Amino acid sequence: MSRFELMQHLKHYNNLKNPNNIQRIIDGCCKKRPRFQRQFVERYSDFLYAICCRYMGDRNLAQDQLQISWVKILDKIQTYDPHKAKIESWISTVAINTCLSELRRKKPNTIPINEIPTRTPKVNPAVIDTMKTNDILKLIETLPDIYREIFNLVEIDGYNHKEIAALLGINESSSRSRLARSKEMLRIKILKMNKTESWTSLA
């Protein structure tokens, strides 16, 4: 790579990361201009892919939903209102809804009641502190669909149970129950990973 090419590459990278440049990119996307669409996708693909991985629990499925999300985002970008939400919030909502639609389309992924322990083991907070974020996210990805989506919606994306009930077509008590079970399963997975018998609270 020549010095000129390197400088052009660095200039392009810095433009993508410049927060003052995002509205110009969005405006270009609204006009269906390919150069700005590419910049928009480059800027936020990793961000959206991480969301899709959290909800789908499978990297290949996450990639599929990422592509579908981008189609929806670029098709509906004219409806984005910067006065109502940040662009990151708007595109993440599109990705989350896309993943939830696919999960609803799939057959329910449930586990037998007897697989849920009657006595819930607790994890020492010190164990959680020593775990890498990526390790925790990988554990979340292994949860069954109906528990993984609730855990993500509540604990990571900040939805309340009333919002989740309307979003998923379930009642609030079901949402709370699934959240509790998702935490139980994560506690067990963390205990197995760290081979500890601590009984202090996870929360």
Domain boundaries, the chain: 3-105, 113-194
Lowest-pLDDT choice from 28-32, 36-40, 132-136, 156-160: 132-136
Cβ-proximal residues to 67 (8 Å cutoff; 6+ apart), any chain: none
Token pair belonging to 24: 């110009």
- 169 contact partners, CB below 8 Å, separation of at least 6: none
Distance from C-alpha of 103 to C-alpha of 111, rounded to nearest angstrom = 16
**Distance between CA 76 and CA 93 in Å, rounded?**
13
Q: Torsion-angle region of residue 158: left (phi > 0), alpha (psi -120 to 50) or beta? A: left
% of residues, the chain, pLDDT over 90:
63
Q: What is residue 115's DSSP assignment?
A: G
CA separation for the pair 155, 55 (Å, rounded) = 12
Annotation: CATH topology of 113-194:
Arc Repressor Mutant, subunit A (1.10.10)
Neighbours of 54 (CB within 10 A): 21
Q: Angle at CA 200, nearest 5°, toward 172 and 125?
A: 85
Token output for 95: 């990705």
Mean pLDDT, the chain, as a whole number?
A: 80
Q: What is the pLDDT of residues 141-156, one digit of tens each?
A: 999 999 999 999 999 9
User: At 189, is the pLDDT very low, low, confident or very high (cuts 50, 70, 90)?
Assistant: confident
Give the CATH architecture of domain 3-105: Orthogonal Bundle (1.10)
Give the CA distances from residue 60 to residues 8, 109, 134, 178, in Å, rounded to whole numbers and listed in that order.
33, 18, 18, 25
> Model pTM?
0.74
